[in-house]
Structure 1
């Protein structure tokens, strides 16, 4: 996979802006698009993420090495699947009833949200991360590698090489990682899980993941699957 120099962010909300700030601080070129026109978000970007380039979705994707989806989950199908063809894509989305509405109208209950995102963007490589930590924590707790009490993010996907590359990217953004190589394991970070909203160090994050099946949420998932 190509070296990541330019990060494209689709979504200029709170998460998208924070990720743009972190990426700029890490030395990446950043292109970002919002739900409105480029002119509409330009002032927001120049104020909150100075140095980032506002663009259309097409302008973001065509000139970026890595794409981050930071929009409400219910809107991912508004993006043409072919637009992200051949791209490495971070799914930073999660279902949230306040913005996405009734879950059954957004997601098929038989699989995880990221699996459905991957199924839709079937010519792209999806890696799930930046999902379980709140945007305030992302903004305030990024630290250089080796610093004490550095927090960690879960990174998972079906493509081994892509997961490793994204994990290295997450490291440059200020966080340690716990890697899995199964996109379906993203269920561990979805709302309702012990990890959702959690800000943990790498050992503590690893411990929760290791004991996921024993948690209340894990037991619920097993029951739903008839395990």
Structure 2
């Protein structure tokens, strides 16, 4: 019971620390197409009312492909973080986005984060569970510690078609990636207990209306 209470308090404390931070991603809602994103395997932009975008007009999907991915590299130094801050062990990463799909299809999407050093050698990775949703937007969100030595973070979304069909209906909108400091006592408790990769819930109403669920 006490551990559960500590976890709940830490979770909301960390969310508050992110509340004033804008996403480090550029064009996170794909309103400018795939600008700032690298892509492979037929990644495309959909503007449709079935479902409507979670926010804005556009969202990501896969056109006539069983597998697609998009990714964006974030340079932490260019974003204003100091090497001493990054390597302090007192920063946490929030990753997530809003996912949906086509009616009864089970095409699934998965959000990954990869950590790279100054030479762009990968030093770590984490991912949220693979997920699908039928015509409702659901938020997938997670927290993990920022690895010492990280200078670049890659946010990646991979869509996989399941079963028959042509398009890959793993949809993504309003992607986000944030980095923030947490209070030292909370950081010690979090990392000491091994509670990384915590899946979170955020109660955010859909700008465009319709059905939305937050998932954990």
Q: TM-score interval w.r.t. the shorter chain? A: under 0.3
The higher-RCO structure (CA 8 Å, 6+ apart) is 2
Structure with more of its chain in strand, by fraction: 2
Structure with the bigger percentage of helix: 1
Q: TM-score, normalised on structure 1?
A: 0.25
